[in-house]
Chain A
Amino acid sequence: MLPLSLLKTAQSHPMLVELKNGETYNGHLVSCDTWMNINLREVICTSKDGDKFWRMNECYIRGSTIKYLRIPDEVIDLVKEDIQAKAKNRNQNQNQNRNNNNNQQNRGNKNNPNQHRPNPNRNRNNVNINKN
């Protein structure tokens, strides 16, 4: 899982963002994009020396100013679940497609006993329907 995908998975979780200038922002991630620009909610900003604090309801941080983000350990566990769920879905879809293909083959054989292969175009349509 790529770093930016992990960041997306961490949406709605609390995190700490340190900027290149040393300021840190603690808040909940609302959204992020492929440039690492982020929106935070319920933010506490801490100055570089850790002696001044500001509270704000929301803030937007330009990705290029970020040094690093620290995210909770649970997010890594979420990723593992995510990957497992996706693998499961994929298997189910594959099985479904296989069943549909078999059905079609049977039907084709009934209508025309001399036809050994199902129409490839029909087959393709079927796959698309399943995806949707």
Chain B
Amino acid sequence: MENTAHLLNEIDKKLMILLRDGRTLIGYLRSVDQFANLVLHRAIERIHVGTQYGDMERGVFIIRGENVVLLGEIDREKEEQLNSKLTQVSVEEILDAQRREIESKQEKNAILRQRLKQRGINNNPLLEDNE
């Protein structure tokens, strides 16, 4: 078992989980199975925009394993160091900031697409508006 990748050592630790849709969840891992389905307890969803972040309480999650990109334990010491660089804001503020960030990204992409089109390059999949 020592040389295999497994999650049993992470049980009951406070973890950060990144999903394939880009969302970040933080909570206590309570259970896993052979598909890497996860049970996350006292979970929060954290949104980062620049140096600001906001937390939303989410309770208990059962996450289907295939949607997980990565997960890892949160280092308490480093978390405190980071907090001097990041500022927590309210949920409304962070959602607003996130909306503005997405809109500006879409605008930039639209301009880029237009310029590329003028030069004869169409439908670059990297510039599509989905997240």
Complex: how many Å from CA A22 to CA B21?
A: 9
Number of A-B residue pairs at CB separation under 8 A:
55
Whether, in the assembled complex, A4 has its beta carbon less than 8 Å from a beta carbon of chain B, the answer is yes
B: number of interface residues (CB 8 Å): 18
Residues of A within 8 A of B38 (CB): 3
Whether, in the assembled complex, A83 has its beta carbon less than 8 Å from a beta carbon of chain B, the answer is no
Q: Is the CB of B21 within 8 A of A3?
A: no
Q: Which of A3, A4, A20 contacts B67 (CB 8 A)?
A: A20
Interface SS of A by simple majority: mixed
Complex: how many Å from CA A119 to CA B19?
A: 60
Q: Smallest CB-CB separation from B63: which chain A residue?
A: A68
Complex: how many Å from CA A69 to CA B67?
A: 12
Residues of B within 8 A of A73 (CB): 59-60
Q: What are the 7 A-B residue pairs with the smallest beta carbon separation, nearest first?
A: A3-B37, A69-B62, A68-B63, A2-B33, A67-B67, A66-B64, A3-B39
Q: Which of B41-96 contact A (CB under 8 A)?
A: 41, 58-64, 67
Most A Cβ at <10 Å: residue of B38, B59, B62: B62
Q: Is the CB of A3 within 8 A of B59?
A: no
Q: Is the CB of B60 within 8 A of A70?
A: yes
Complex: how many Å from CA A13 to CA B93?
A: 33
Q: Which of A1-27 contact B (CB under 8 A)?
A: 1-4, 6-7, 20, 22
Whether, in the assembled complex, A76 has its beta carbon less than 8 Å from a beta carbon of chain B, the answer is yes
Q: Which of B19, B31, B58 contacts A3 (CB 8 A)?
A: B31
20 more CB-based (< 8 A) A-B contacts, given A3-B37, A3-B62, A76-B41: A1-B31, A1-B39, A3-B31, A3-B38, A3-B39, A4-B37, A6-B39, A6-B62, A67-B19, A67-B63, A67-B67, A68-B19, A68-B61, A68-B63, A69-B61, A70-B61, A70-B62, A72-B59, A75-B60, A76-B60
Complex: how many Å from CA A69 to CA B62?
A: 5
Q: Is the CB of A71 within 8 A of B62?
A: yes
Q: Which of B27-43 contact A (CB under 8 A)?
A: 30-33, 37-39, 41
Complex: how many Å from CA A1 to CA B21?
A: 27
Complex: how many Å from CA A78 to CA B58?
A: 19
Q: Is the CB of A2 within 8 A of B67?
A: no
